Amino acid sequence: MGAEWWALAAGLLLAVLGASVLPVVAGAAGVPVLRRGRRARAARRARERRTDAVIALCGALAGEVRAGRQPGEALVCAARDSDGLGAAQAAVIAAARFGGDVPGALTTAARRPGAEGVRGLAACWRVAVDQGAGLAAGLDRLEAALRAERDQRADLRAQLSGARATAVMLACLPALGLLLGTAMGADPLRVLLHTGAGLACLVVGGALEAVGLWWALEIVRRAEAS
C-alpha cells in the first residue's frame, strides 16, 4: 500500500467529522491520481539511476581500455558490474565475448528510459572497433557530454523546485482555511456538506483548485522537459 491511501483515510476522517459521505468519495477519487504521481516519481528516479549507471559504464570501459585490455574483453569486465544495461546486459556481454553484434546489443539496451546514452556508446564502438579509432578518447568525450547533460537537468530541476513548491503550498491554503474556520467555531464542514450554497461552493472551488494545480504543475513539467 502506497502513501496515496492516506487520501482515503483523510476522507474517512472528514466524513466522520462532517457526517457526510462526500469526503469518502473525494478521497477514493484521489487515490488513483496520487498513485499515478507516485509512480511517475518512481519512474523518474529509476531513469536517473540508469543515467548515472551509463555514465559510470563509459568511465569504467575507458579505464579498462587504457589498462591494456582489448575492447571486447574490456566491455565484458565493465558491463558485468554495471546496472545501465538492464535486461540486455547478458546479450551485450555475450556479443562482446563471442564476437557478435555489440552495437546492435547496445542499441537494444538504449531503449529503456534513462539509458539513451548507450546509443552513444554503440556509435563509439562502431567508429573505434570497425574503423580503428581511439575508443578511450571517444568514451571520455561521451562521458563528459552525458555528465554535462545530467548536471544541466539537475540544475534546471533545482531552479523549478521553488515554483513547484509554491503551487503545492497554494493548493493547501483551502485546507488551512477550513482549519481556521473550525477553530473559530464557524463549522465550515456543515456549511459545505449540508447546504446547497455550500455544496455549490465546494464543487466550483474543488474544480478550480484541481485545474489551477494541474496548470501550474504542467507549466513546470513542460519547462523541465524542454
| pLDDT per residue rounded down to tens, the chain (226 residues) | 677 888 888 888 888 888 888 888 888 888 888 888 889 888 889 889 989 988 998 888 888 888 888 888 888 888 887 777 777 788 888 888 887 888 888 888 888 888 888 898 888 888 877 655 578 888 889 999 999 998 988 888 888 888 888 888 888 888 888 888 888 888 888 888 888 888 899 899 889 988 988 888 888 888 877 6
Write down the pLDDT at residue 130. Answer: 61
Closest-CA residue to 191 (of 183, 199, 179): 199
Helix (H) or strand (E) holding 179: helix 173-183
What predicted TM-score, i.e. pTM, was given to this entire model? 0.78
Write down the pLDDT at residue 81. Answer: 77
Write down the pLDDT at residue 157. Answer: 85
Write down the pLDDT at residue 219. Answer: 86
Write down the pLDDT at residue 65. Answer: 86
Residue 68 to residues 7, 89, 150, 204: CA-CA distances in angstroms? 58, 23, 29, 70
Cβ-in-10-Å burial (0-12, 13-18, 19+) of 145 comes to: middle
Between CA 63 and CA 78 the distance in angstroms is 9
Write down the pLDDT at residue 17. Answer: 82
Between CA 59 and CA 52 the distance in angstroms is 11
